[in-house]
Structure 1
């Protein structure tokens, strides 16, 4: 069933969303897009969910678009902008705007839109055997799912141009060295590390973390003056949350804080 294309494992304080089409390296179909968006909306609506892990079943994270899903028909000229507008752009916007940390655990190849969906998450960890590929140029296409926006910001314009134009794979350790991802871990320890991070975030001041995400995203286009004003405004919001009061009180009492998270 379509809902099984993305499984949702509810843990204490967080959820694990798994792309579940391993026979096709979890490549995106319309049905998978719908299932993933539904899972993200459900997680956001659950105040008990304070972090997410996104990963893939089987030997790969996501191979990008499933070309057997009706986007390519011989002797026809497709309008690929429809797929972008209907599925990929809303997905990236949702991932970036979620009011909780999103950890992407890349367990194998992340190609095309699969790589860029991973980069849209807040923290990316990868198995040592994983690799990232901007595969679009091999098909005469342009990087999508936010790739032309986020990749230069992660690795710089020189590397981004070469990666997009050459479509060469980047091993996980190289991706870490270039600042493309947060961390590389041994394959066997990938999900343990993802769960460790999610469990940590499940005890943290979620509202404040959401404001950090908002500030960092805005900084990409703001002037210094605009960013200083935004920091002022967001800090005002943060200071009015119960978790700020709890954090200060716990510090003064010399005890561990008990953050309530999402309100």
Structure 2
């Protein structure tokens, strides 16, 4: 597929998806949604992929929805924003969360609205120190979609989630790290180097175990402790028969570096 709104590569087990509308701060149009969906389907189906890096081109990560793609004026008929969420943003979040591999988000600039919550849907978020997160929905009379109302209180607590969502103030990357919203804020010039260093690590790691870790942590929000303990037992039972577990033990005993296959 010839992409116009994104860049997408797969090399040595690392998939890199770059939102590529820099003149529009990589804001989403329907066409861009479809291209991102196509790329994520490739990531899902390509067994060679063991990690995904999501980032943006230019000076911003993603400014959310491109409002000119569904422009409305006072007095004109409204648009069904619920349909937009159901058709595009909700499936995007679920696709990222269900990928059987780590997803790294490298936030290279402003992440606003759906762009901020797109980052939060990833597993590990690195951000340039000059980057910022803005829950801009309140300025348009909307709610934080793209999973924002789910992720925010679970990452920063209800008080901070309320403040971010209802005031729409800019949250600098270093403060986002301090609050636990993201994993780490790094110098701007080091962002992609750090992201690729992490991606290279994951590309040679025990991918199935990481995928199960991701799935188990996500399930913990809804499970009781007994349910979560049973899930851990079920997952450990399956992982105990995996190649990577046997290889990891053998490498530890032999005091050598493991050669994981991701299986």
TM-score, length basis structure 2: 0.97
In 2, the alpha carbon distance for the partners of 1:233 and 1:180 equals: 30
Q: Which runs of 5+ in 1 are unaligned?
A: none
Q: CA deviation at 1:221?
A: 1.2
Checking the alignment, whether the CA contact within 8 Å between 1:155 and 1:179 is kept in structure 2 is yes
- Is the 1:2–1:32 Cα contact (8 Å) retained in structure 2? no
Which string of whole-angstrom CA distances, capped at 9 and with x for unpartnered residues, describes residues 8-56 of structure 1?
A: 1222120111000001000011111111111111012111110010000
1:248 alignment counterpart? 249
Specify the alignment match of 1:36 in structure 2.
Answer: 36
Given that residues 13 and 49 in structure 1 are in contact (C-alpha distance below 8 angstroms), is that contact kept between their aligned partners in structure 2? yes
- SS for the counterpart of 2:227 is helix
Q: What does residue 85 of structure 1 align with?
A: 86
The equivalent residue for 1:15 is 15
Please say if residues 22 and 58 of structure 1, whose CA atoms lie closer than 8 Å, have aligned partners that are also in contact. yes
In structure 1, the partner of 2:202 is 201
Superposed displacement of residue 241, structure 1:
1.1
* Equivalent position of 1:153 in the other structure: 154
**Corresponding position of 1:128:** 129
Shift of 1:192: 0.2
Q: Alpha-carbon deviation of 1:79? A: 1.1
Q: Which residue of 2 aligns with 1:102?
A: 103
Q: TM-score of the superposition, structure 1-length normalised?
A: 0.97
CA deviations 1:129-158 (Å, max 9, x no partner) are: 000000000000011000000110110000
Post-superposition shift, 1:190? Answer: 0.3
> Retained in 1: the 8 A contact 2:70–2:79?
no
1:73 shift after superposition: 5.2
- Say how many residue pairs are matched: 262
Q: Give the secondary structure class of the aligned counterpart of 1:243.
A: helix
Contact 1:9 1:17 in 2 (8 A): yes
CA–CA distance in structure 1, aligned partners of residues 240 and 93 of structure 2: 29
What's the offset of the Cα at 1:71?
A: 5.3
Aligned to 2:69: 69
Runs of at least 4 residues off by over 3 Å: 71-74
Whole-angstrom distance in 1 between the partners of 2:71 and 2:229: 45
Q: CA RMSD in A?
A: 1.2
1:2 Cα deviation after fit: 6.8
Q: Which residue of 2 aligns with 1:190?
A: 191
Q: Contact 1:99–1:207 (CA<8 Å) still a contact in 2?
A: yes
SS at structure 2 position matched to 1:3: coil
Displacement, 1:215?
0.2
**Does the CA contact (< 8 Å) of 2:20 and 2:26 recur in 1?**
yes
Q: Give 1:122 shift.
A: 0.4
Distance 1:32 1:67 in 2: 13
